[in-house]
A and B are shown apart, each in its own frame.
Chain A
Amino acid sequence: MMASSYNAKEEDGHHSGASNNGGAGVVKSKKPDNTAFKQQRLPAWQPILTAGTVLPAFFVIGLIFIPIGIGLYVTSNNIKEYEIDYTGADINDACYNCAKNFSWNSTTPCLCSVPFTLEQPFESNVFMYYGLSNFYQNHRRYVKSRDDSQLNGDRSALKNPSKECEPYRTSEGKPIAPCGAIANSLFNDTLELYHIDSNGTRNAIPLVKKGIAWWTDKHVKFRNPGGNSNLTVAFQDTSKPVNWRKPVFDLDPSDPENNGFINEDFIVWMRTAALPTFRKLYRIIQKKPSTTPTLPSGKYVLEITYNYPVRSFDGRKRMILSTISWMGGKNPFLGIAYITVGSICFFLGVVLLIIHHKYDTRNNSADIPS
C-alpha cells in the first residue's frame, strides 16, 4: 500500500517526459543531502552491555536500595495497627448468633459487642476501618453497576437511571436512587467504640465521620440533586435501593450535610475496592489536644449493630484501628522488597565482577590503547 507513494513517479510514464519538456535548462542533481540525519550519522551514545560496563550500575542500585528498604521497613514497623474479626463465623464468637440469623430481609437489627485489649497506646490520629474479605467489589458487572450522572446530581439521571444499573434500576415502578448494585450492597453495620476504664465504666470514644472520603468526591463528584436543601423533595418519586432500610436522604439523621449522595460512608463505599480483601475508612479518632494518647492501652469494647450479611459468600468482617505514617498504613512489604532487590543487585554485581575478572580482560585491555 505504502509502496505506491514512492512509485507514483515511475509508474506514470509522463512524469520524466514532462520535466524534459519543460526544463531543459538546469539539470538538477539527485544527489542526496549530506546531513547527519539523512546519512544516519547523528551523534550517538552506544552503550555496550558487558559485565564490565554494567557492573557499576548493579552496585549503585544495591547501595541505594538497601538503605531505602531499611528506612521503609522501620517506618512501617512504627505504625500501630489493631484488627478484630467480628464476622461471627465461629460458634464462640460474640456475633455468631447475629451472623447466623441475619439476612438482607431481616428487619430488626442485631446487636453484639466484642471486647478487646490494646497492648500499646495509639498516638496521633487513629483511623478506624472496616474490612471485608472475599467481597468481590471488583467484579466486572458490580463495578459497572452505578450511574455516575445520577450521583452527580443530574436530575434526568435521577428519574431515569442508566441501563448499567440493571437490575437495580427501578423498584415498584420508581427509579432507584442511588441505583445499581454497588449502592444496593452498601455496608450498613454500625460500629461504636468504647474504652473501658480501669474502674469498668464505658466511655464512648468520639468517632469523626467527616473527612473520610476524598475531598473531590465529596465536593465535586457526588452531588445531591438540587443542592442540599430539602432532600426529601429532591428524592421524591424515587425508590430506595432494595436492600436499604432507610432512604438515601435519611442516611445520617444527625447531620443534614452528610445526607443524600454526599453521605461520606456512602461515598467511601462507592469507591470500589481493588481486591477482594479490602478495608474502608469508617471513622477517624482525632488526636486529643492533651498529651494523652489518642487510644491509651487498655480494654475496649466494640459495639456492632450487625446488619450486613457475609455468610453467603464466606466473607469476613473486620474492624481495624491503625495509625498512619507518610507512606500510608502498616505494610512491611515495600521495605522488604527494596532490601531484597537491593541485595540481589549487589549479589549480581559481585557475580559480574567475577565474570568480568575471569573473562572480560581481553576487551578491557583493548580499551586501553595508546
Chain B
Amino acid sequence: MARDTEDRAAGTHKAERRQRGRSKKKPKETRTVRVHTGHEHNPNRHYANNRIKTTKYTVLSFLPKNLFEQFHRFANVYFVFIALLNFVPVVNAFQPELALAPVVFILSVTAIKDLWEDYRRHRSDTEINHMDCLVYTERRYVERFWKEVQVGDFIRLRCNEILPADVLLLSSSDPDRLCHLETATLDGETNLKQRQVVRSFFDLDCEFDPLKFNGIIECEKPNNDLNRFRGYILHRSGSRDALYKDNLLLRGCTVRNTEEAVGIVIYAGHETKAMLNNNGPRYKRSKLERQMNVHVFWCVVILLLMCLFAAIGHGLWVFQYGDKRPVFDVLSPEGAELSPVVAAVYLFLTLIIVFQVLIPISLFVSIEIVKVCQVFFIHQDQDLYDEDSDSRLQCRALNITEDLGQTQYVFSDKTGTLTENKMVFRRCTVAGVEYSHDANARRLALYQEVDSEEEEVPPPGGSLRRDSSSSQQSSRVVLRSLSTKTHRRTGSRADAKRASILSKHTAFSSPMEKDVTPDPQLLDKVNECGGQMDFMRFHGQPVSQLPSDLADIMDFFMALTVCNTVVVSSPNQPRQKVRMRLESKSPVKTIEDFIKRFTPSRLTSGSSSSSSSSLATSRSSNRGCSGLLSSPSAESTLAKLQEEQAALGSAPPRYDGTPRSPEDGELRYEAESPDEAALVYAARAYKCSLVGRLPDQVTVELPHLGKLSFELLHTLGFDSTRKRMSVVVRHPLTDQITVYTKGADSVIMDLIKPPDTETSKGRRQKKLVLRTQNYLNLYAADGLRTLCIAKKVLSKEQYACWLQRHLEAETAIQGREELLFDSALRLETNLQLLGATGIEDRLQDGVPETIASLRQAGLQIWVLTGDKQETAVNVAYACKLLDPEEEILTLNADSHEACALLLEESLHYIQTKFLCSSSDQAAKAFLPNFAPFEVYPPSSSSPHSAAFTVHRLGLVIDGRTLAYALDQSLEDRFLAVARSCRSVLCCRSTPLQKSTVVKLVRNKLKVMTLAIGDGANDVSMIQVADVGVGISGQEGMQAVMASDFALPRFRYLQKLLLVHGHWSYSRLANMILFFFYKNAMFVALVFWYQFYCGFSGSAMIDQWYLIFFNLMFSAFPQLVTGTLDKDVSAETLQQLPQLYMSGQNSEEYKPYMFWMNMIDAFYQSLVCFFIPYFAYADSDVDVFTWGTPITTLALLTILVHLGIETRTWTWMNCLSISFSVSLFFTVSLCYNASCPSCFSPSNPYWSMQRLLQDPLFYLLCVLTPVAALLPRYFYRACQGTLFPSPVQVGRQLDKLPSETRRNILNLGGVEAGSAVRPVPHFLSLGTPSPEGPDENHQRTEELEFLPLVSWNVFIHIPQPLLCISEMEFRVCVF
C-alpha cells in the first residue's frame, strides 16, 4: 500500500512540477501545505482559514438572497404576481400598497424566521470560532481562538481536547507514537480510534520542534471522504514520506488517552472533512400535503371559473346598455369607452385579485407553524424519553409529522431495533463438545428479573440475586477469585446506566455483557490446559504435543481473544495505559521486511536492526517475548521474560490465581461491533484476557502462562460479503504462523478443510464438524447469533507465497478491492474448525407488545434482517411477529426459475387454502366467538379482483431468494404473496435489498411506508421509506443521521405512531379542510355580491378586512386548534390501536370531504350574504356599512364552525376565539375612527361605531351563524349517533368514567386484538400494472374496499358493572 501511495504521490508531484513549469493558472489537483510558524505571513493564506461560517446570509445579502429563496415556492410567486397586478390601473382592485401587505407579511414572517435561525447559527459559529487551542507562534505555543488557526500552523493538542481542524499528526506523547481519538461526533462510534504519527517522525524521542520541520506537505484537495487521505511530506533532503488516513486527525474528534500531541493543520474551517460532511436536513413532502396540493389546484380552478363567470356577466351587463351610457358606468381614466369584451377581460384580471383570498396564502405558513408546534409537543413527551440513555425522541424532519399517522407498512431491522444489540455470550461449543453455560443463562434471566422488579421496589444492592441462586453465587466466587470480577455486581439496567455514565467512552460494556459466568466444566479444562502448557513449557516440550482437544480449547480462546479489532484502554488513566510493546513496527509491509523478520539469524544478531533490537529502550516493555520464545532455547527465553517482567514498572507481573489489582478491572474493551466485545469478555471469563493491542502486536494474558505477545502479521477485516474476519499471527508458543478466522457459520463451514476420513484424526475432525453443525442449529433455534471459530496453520513457505501475492494486491493500482478480496479468499481456505459460539441478542423491552399493538393498528410489519434464517425466525417468534399457530411459508430458492416456481406455488396455495374455502368461513374460523360479525364477502362483489385478505400466514424469505424475487419479472408475484401474509421476514438481506424491498412496496402498492433501523446497513432503507426512523442505539449515528425521527427505543414507536402520528394527522387534516372552507366561504361572499354590482368587481367588504381577514382576524383560533386538538385521548388511542386505521385510510381528509366543505362553504356564505341582503334590502344603507356586518357575520360563523369542529376545548381555545372576536372589533373601531378622509374608496369613518348602535346588527349576529351552521351541526349530531366513526366511538369511551373505561378497554382490548384483520383490497394477480385504466379500476375498488376495513369491538361488561348486561360498540365505517 505504501508503495502505491508513494508512487502516486510521486506521480502527482511530478505532474505538479510540470504544471508549475507551464502555467500557474491550471487548477491544482493537490494541496501544498507549507509550514507556518508565525514569523512571516502565512504561505498558505490562500487556503480557507479555520473560521467557520455556517450562516446563509450576511447583513447585505440577506434581503436579496432570502427573497430569491422564497420565490422558489410557487405560491409566493403567485401572490406577488397578484399584488403586482394591482399596480396596473385598469385592473386594480385594491390600493396597490395594501395589496402587497399580505405577501409582504408572509414573506417577512418567513424571512424573520430564517433570520432567527441564521442568527442562532451565527451564535453557535461564534462560540465555536472562539474556542481555544494552542498554536505555535514565535517559538512557543500560544492560546489562540479556533478561527485564528490557519493551514500550516502547528497545534498542540491535549487530552480531551477537541480538534479544531484537520491535523496531520507529527508527534505524540504516547510512547507508541499513537494518538487516540473519539470520533463519536463524526460517525457516532464510541470506540477509540488510533492514529499514528507520520513515519519519519516516529523515532523522535525528544519533543517535537516545529522549527525543525522543514518539509512541504502535498496532499489531496479537501474532500468529504472521512476514510481517505493521501499525501506525502517532501523533506528538504528530498526524501518523501507517505501520509495515510491514519495520520490525519479530523476536526470535531476528541483526543483521548493521549497526553499531548502536535500536528500541523492541513485542512481548516470549511475545508475540513467534518464540515464537508455536513449536509442539512432533507425535506420530504407528506402525503397529506400532496393531497392538499391537488385541492389547492382545484381552488385555482374554482377561482378561475368564478372569475370567468363574473367576467362574462360583466361583458353582458355592459352590453345590455348598448350606446346609452348610464351615469354610473364610469369611463376609463383615459376617457375611453370600453367595449364589453375589453371590459370583461379587465374585469377578469381584477377579480383574480379580489378573489385571491380563495387560494389560502396563509395556509402554507400556518401549516409550518402547526407542524413546528407538533414537533415541539412530540419532543416534550415524557413517554418518549428514555431514562437509561438520557435521550428523547428527536424529530429531524419537521414537515412529515402527519405521515406518522398514515403509515401502512413498517419495515424493521432486527438487530438493535427489535433487540437491544447488547450481545451477551450465552453458550459455546468447542471441539464438538457443548458447554451450555447454565449459570450464565440464569444470570441473564436475573437481569431481566431485576429489571422488572426495579420499577416497583429497587432491591438493595443486589441482595435479591444472591439469595435467589446459590449455584450462581458459588460460581461467582470462583470467578471473582480467578480473574475478571469487577466492582459492578448488581447488574440491573440502572446500574448499567450509571456505569455507562461513568465510563462514557466505553462502548458495549454494560455489566450484563462484561460479567460472563464461565461454564465450570470448560473452566476446568482451560485451567488444565493452561497448567499443562505451563508444565510443558517448563519442560521444554513442544506445545504441539498437547492433547488435541485441549489444544483446540486453547486455540479457541486464543482466537476469541486475538481475532478481533478490539482496543484495550483505560481512559481514566491514560498514562497507565497498559503497554506491552514489542517494538515499533507495523504489520508486514514488504517482502524484505518479511524476510528480515523471519530469518532466524535475526534472533541471534541481537540489536543490529532497528526492528529487532531495543530490548534496552525504555519504552519496550516485555518485548522480545515472541522473538525469544521462538528461539530454540526456551529456558533462556523464560529467564529473560521474567527478567523483563520484573523490570516492568507500570504493569507488574501477574501470577496465576492472584487477585488482580483494582485498576486492572478498569481495562476496557472498545469494539466496533458489540459481538466482538462479547467474545472478548467471554474469553476473559476464562482468563484468556486481552490486555493490549497495537497495530502489530496483541498481548494476551493466559492462565498459568502469563502474558503472551502475538505478533500480528495481518488483519483481514470483516466485510459483509466475506462475512468473516481473519488475523494472521505468529503464535508465541509454537512460533507457527497461525490464521484465526471467525465468521458466520454458513461461510466458515464451507471453508473447513474436508476431513480426511482415512485417519482417525480426520474422522474425529469430521465428527467434530458434524456435531458443531448440530449445535449450531440448536443455537439458531434458540435465537442465538452464531459464529464459527476456525484456525489454520501456515508454513513459512506458504505464508511467504501468500504474502507475495497479497502485497501485490495491496499495491495494485487497479481493482485493488477485488484483488484484496481474492487474496483474503486464498488465505481463508482449508480451515480447521475449532468451535462455535452462541451470542444472545436480547429483545428490547416491550417489543412483542409493540408489535402486537402496531399490528392491531393495521400496520403490516416486515422485518428485514441480515441475520441467518434460523436466528431471525426465532427472534420473530420471540417478538410475536410470527405466531406458532400460523403457517409459515418459507421461500428458499437457488435459482430464478425455482424462485418463480415457489412463488407460483405459494400463490396457488394461498388461493386454494383461503379463498376457495369461502372467505366467510375463513373469517368465521378466526372469530368463532363473534356471531354478529359482519362479513363483506369480497368475492361476491368482484370475483375477479379476488380480494387478498391478510391471512394468518407468515412468509420467510432468505436473501438469495429475495434477490430473485426482486427481479422485475417476479416482483409482482412476490408482492402478491407477501401482501397476503400477515408477517414477512426477510433474512440474510443486504442493505441494498432492504431498500429495494421498501421501494418496491412503496411504489407498487402505493402505501405509506416506515422504515426503522439502527445501523449503517439500514440507512438506505430509512432514506427510501416515506418515514425513516432511526434508533439511537449502539451502532453509531448513521441511521439517526439519515432518519426523520430518532427514537431511543423501539417500543416508543407505538406511542409515536398511534398517538402522535394520529393526532398530527387528524389535526392537520382538519386544519387544512378548515382553511379551504374558510377561504371559500369568505370569497364567495364577494362573489355573490357581483350579481348586485353589475359584475363590476366591486366588493362590499372593506379591502382592509378583505386582506387581513385571513392573516389576523381568523388565523389564531385555528392555529390553536390545529396544535392542541385531540380527537381521542392518548390512553384510548394506545389501548385501541384500531383507531389508527382512520389515518391509514385517510379518513379525516378524503377528496369528497374537500368538496363537501366547499359546498358547505358556499351554503354558509349564501346565508351570510342573503340574510343581511334581505334585512337591508331597499334601505339607505351604503356599501361598506352593509359590508361590515357581513364581515362580522362571516367571522362569527367561521369561529362557531371551528368551535363545532373542535373536539377538545381548553382555555387556549376559548381564549383564542375571544381574542379573535375582540381583535376584530378593536381593530375595526380604531380603524373606523382613525382618519376621516383616508382609506379611499371605502372611507369607513365611524361605520363600526354606528353599526354597534344598530339593534339590527345584533339581531343579524344571532340569526346568521345559527342559520349558517344548522346543517353542519345537525349532520354532526346525526352522524355521531347513527354512524359514528371509530374515532368518535373512541371519544365516547373517553367520556366514560376512568374505571369503567379501563374495564371496557381491558376486555375490549383482548377481543379487539383477535378481531378481524383489516382487509385491504388486493390487485388482481395477472395485471398488477399501476398505470392506465387499471389504476382507476383499482382506485375505485380501493375506495370500495378500504372502508370495509371494519373493525368490531365487542365489549362485554360484567353484569354488576353496567345496567345492561352487554354493551356493544359496533362500528362500521360507511
Within 8 A of B (CB), among A134-178: 135-149, 151-152, 154, 162-164, 166-168
Nearest to A320 among chain B residues (CB) is B1178
Tell whether, in the assembled complex, residue A32 and residue B1300 are in contact, meaning their CB atoms are under 8 Å apart: no
Tell whether, in the assembled complex, residue A185 and residue B327 are in contact, meaning their CB atoms are under 8 Å apart: yes
Band of interface residues on B: 35 or more
Nearest to A277 among chain B residues (CB) is B1178
Nearest to B120 among chain A residues (CB) is A8
Q: Which residues of A contact B1153 (CB under 8 A)?
A: none
Tell whether, in the assembled complex, residue B1282 and residue A139 are in contact, meaning their CB atoms are under 8 Å apart: no
Which among B33-41, B374-382, B764-772, B1321-1329 touches the partner chain?
B374-382
Is B1295 on the interface with A (CB-CB < 8 A)? yes
Complex Cα distance A168/B1278, Å? 59
Q: A32-B379, A151-B1237 are in contact. Are A271 and B1182 (CB under 8 A)?
A: yes
Q: Which residues of A contact B778 (CB under 8 A)?
A: none
Q: Tell me the smallest distance from the CB of A370 to a CB of chain B, in Å.
A: 8
Q: Tell me the smallest distance from the CB of B358 to a CB of chain A, in Å.
A: 19
Tell whether, in the assembled complex, residue A334 and residue B1263 are in contact, meaning their CB atoms are under 8 Å apart: yes
Is A250 on the interface with B (CB-CB < 8 A)? no
Nearest to B1184 among chain A residues (CB) is A274
Complex Cα distance A221/B690, Å? 96
Is B1230 on the interface with A (CB-CB < 8 A)? no
Complex Cα distance A9/B1297, Å? 44
Complex Cα distance A281/B1182, Å? 12
Tell whether, in the assembled complex, residue B1270 and residue A49 are in contact, meaning their CB atoms are under 8 Å apart: no
Tell whether, in the assembled complex, residue A275 and residue B328 are in contact, meaning their CB atoms are under 8 Å apart: no
Q: Tell me the smallest distance from the CB of B1013 to a CB of chain A, in Å.
A: 18
Tell whether, in the assembled complex, residue B372 and residue A328 are in contact, meaning their CB atoms are under 8 Å apart: no
The 0/1 profile, CB within 8 Å of A marked 1, for residues 119-144 of chain B is 01100100110010000000000000
Q: Tell me the smallest distance from the CB of A213 to a CB of chain B, in Å.
A: 11
Q: Which residues of A contact B1204 (CB under 8 A)?
A: 49
Complex Cα distance A356/B120, Å? 58
Q: Tell me the smallest distance from the CB of A7 to a CB of chain B, in Å.
A: 5
Complex Cα distance A322/B110, Å? 56
Is B1273 on the interface with A (CB-CB < 8 A)? yes
Tell whether, in the assembled complex, residue A166 and residue B333 are in contact, meaning their CB atoms are under 8 Å apart: yes
Complex Cα distance A61/B1178, Å? 29
Within 8 A of A (CB), among B310-361: 321, 324-335, 350
Tell whether, in the assembled complex, residue B1277 and residue A272 are in contact, meaning their CB atoms are under 8 Å apart: no
Q: A27-B501, A49-B1204, A148-B1240 are in contact. Are A136 and B1300 (CB under 8 A)?
A: no
Is A94 on the interface with B (CB-CB < 8 A)? no
Which among B809-817, B1093-1101, B1137-1145 touches the partner chain?
B1093-1101
Tell whether, in the assembled complex, residue B375 and residue A140 are in contact, meaning their CB atoms are under 8 Å apart: no
Tell whether, in the assembled complex, residue A13 and residue B1180 are in contact, meaning their CB atoms are under 8 Å apart: no
The 0/1 profile, CB within 8 Å of B marked 1, for residues 112-145 of chain A is 0000000000000000010100011111111111
Is B1252 on the interface with A (CB-CB < 8 A)? no
Most chain B CB within 10 A, of A280, A367, A369, is at A369
Tell whether, in the assembled complex, residue A34 and residue B382 are in contact, meaning their CB atoms are under 8 Å apart: yes
Tell whether, in the assembled complex, residue B1243 and residue A221 are in contact, meaning their CB atoms are under 8 Å apart: yes
Tell whether, in the assembled complex, residue B1294 and residue A362 are in contact, meaning their CB atoms are under 8 Å apart: no
Tell whether, in the assembled complex, residue B391 and residue A39 are in contact, meaning their CB atoms are under 8 Å apart: no
Complex Cα distance A140/B1364, Å? 67
How many residue pairs link A and B with beta carbons under 8 A? The number is 389
Is B655 on the interface with A (CB-CB < 8 A)? no
Contact of B396 among A10, A18, A58, A367 (CB under 8 A): A10
Complex Cα distance A33/B1182, Å? 56
Q: Tell me the smallest distance from the CB of A215 to a CB of chain B, in Å.
A: 9
Is B616 on the interface with A (CB-CB < 8 A)? no
Most chain B CB within 10 A, of A52, A363, A365, is at A363
Complex Cα distance A50/B1171, Å? 28
Tell whether, in the assembled complex, residue B1367 and residue A313 are in contact, meaning their CB atoms are under 8 Å apart: no
Nearest to A22 among chain B residues (CB) is B131
Q: Tell me the smallest distance from the CB of B1255 to a CB of chain A, in Å.
A: 6
Which among B276-284, B406-414, B507-515, B1220-1228 touches the partner chain?
B276-284
Tell whether, in the assembled complex, residue B1280 and residue A273 are in contact, meaning their CB atoms are under 8 Å apart: no
Is A202 on the interface with B (CB-CB < 8 A)? no
Nearest to A268 among chain B residues (CB) is B1180
Which among A192-200, A290-298, A338-346 touches the partner chain?
A338-346
Complex Cα distance A43/B1174, Å? 43
Within 8 A of B (CB), among A313-370: 313, 315, 326-329, 331, 333-334, 337-338, 341, 344-345, 348, 352, 355-356, 359-360, 362-363, 365-370
Is A17 on the interface with B (CB-CB < 8 A)? yes
Most chain B CB within 10 A, of A33, A54, A326, is at A54
The 0/1 profile, CB within 8 Å of A marked 1, for residues 1286-1298 of chain B is 0010011011110
Within 8 A of A (CB), among B1070-1127: 1092-1094, 1096-1098, 1100, 1124, 1126
Is B1187 on the interface with A (CB-CB < 8 A)? yes
Complex Cα distance A22/B1362, Å? 62
Within 8 A of B (CB), among A56-82: 57-58, 61, 65, 68, 72
Tell whether, in the assembled complex, residue A337 and residue B1282 are in contact, meaning their CB atoms are under 8 Å apart: no
Tell whether, in the assembled complex, residue A2 and residue B350 are in contact, meaning their CB atoms are under 8 Å apart: no
Which among B294-302, B644-652, B1206-1214, B1345-1353 touches the partner chain?
B1206-1214
Complex Cα distance A20/B1284, Å? 54
Complex Cα distance A29/B388, Å? 11
Is B1368 on the interface with A (CB-CB < 8 A)? yes
Tell whether, in the assembled complex, residue B1175 and residue A334 are in contact, meaning their CB atoms are under 8 Å apart: yes
Q: Which residues of B contact A352 (CB under 8 A)?
A: 1274, 1277-1278
Q: Which residues of B contact A131 (CB under 8 A)?
A: 1178
Is B162 on the interface with A (CB-CB < 8 A)? yes
Complex Cα distance A154/B1237, Å? 10
Tell whether, in the assembled complex, residue B1296 and residue A369 are in contact, meaning their CB atoms are under 8 Å apart: yes
Tell whether, in the assembled complex, residue B381 and residue A32 are in contact, meaning their CB atoms are under 8 Å apart: yes
Is B859 on the interface with A (CB-CB < 8 A)? no
Q: Which residues of B contact A181 (CB under 8 A)?
A: 327-328, 330
Within 8 A of A (CB), among B1277-1324: 1277-1282, 1284, 1288, 1291-1292, 1294-1297, 1299-1300
Is A47 on the interface with B (CB-CB < 8 A)? yes
Complex Cα distance A8/B128, Å? 13
Complex Cα distance A162/B372, Å? 47
Tell whether, in the assembled complex, residue A2 and residue B1277 are in contact, meaning their CB atoms are under 8 Å apart: no
Contact of A142 among B93, B324, B328, B368 (CB under 8 A): B328
Q: A49-B1276, A145-B330 are in contact. Are A3 and B1241 (CB under 8 A)?
A: no
Nearest to B128 among chain A residues (CB) is A14
Q: A50-B1277, A139-B1096, A333-B1175 are in contact. Are A27 and B390 (CB under 8 A)?
A: yes
Complex Cα distance A38/B382, Å? 9
Q: Which residues of B contact A16 (CB under 8 A)?
A: 184-185
Tell whether, in the assembled complex, residue A355 and residue B1281 are in contact, meaning their CB atoms are under 8 Å apart: yes
Is B609 on the interface with A (CB-CB < 8 A)? no
Q: Tell me the smallest distance from the CB of A317 to a CB of chain B, in Å.
A: 13
- Which 5 A-B residue pairs are closest in the complex by CB-CB distance? A313-B326, A152-B1237, A54-B1277, A274-B1186, A50-B1280
Return 16 A-B CB contacts under 8 Å, by A number.
A2-B398, A3-B398, A4-B280, A14-B252, A42-B1211, A43-B1210, A44-B1209, A49-B1277, A136-B329, A138-B1098, A138-B1183, A142-B329, A167-B333, A217-B1245, A273-B1181, A345-B1266
Having A40-B1126, A129-B1180, A274-B1183, one finds 8 other A-B pairs with CB under 8 Å, namely A2-B372, A45-B1210, A54-B1277, A146-B1240, A274-B1185, A275-B1181, A337-B1263, A367-B1295
Residues of B within 8 A of A (CB): 54, 93, 110, 113-114, 116-117, 120-121, 124, 127-128, 131, 160-162, 184-186, 252-254, 274, 278, 280-281, 283, 321, 324-335, 350, 368, 371-372, 375, 377, 379-382, 385, 387, 390-392, 394-399, 501, 1041, 1092-1094, 1096-1098, 1100, 1124, 1126, 1130, 1171, 1173-1183, 1185-1187, 1204, 1207-1212, 1236-1238, 1240-1241, 1243, 1245-1246, 1250, 1254-1256, 1259-1260, 1263, 1266-1267, 1270, 1273-1274, 1276-1282, 1284, 1288, 1291-1292, 1294-1297, 1299-1300, 1361-1364, 1367-1369
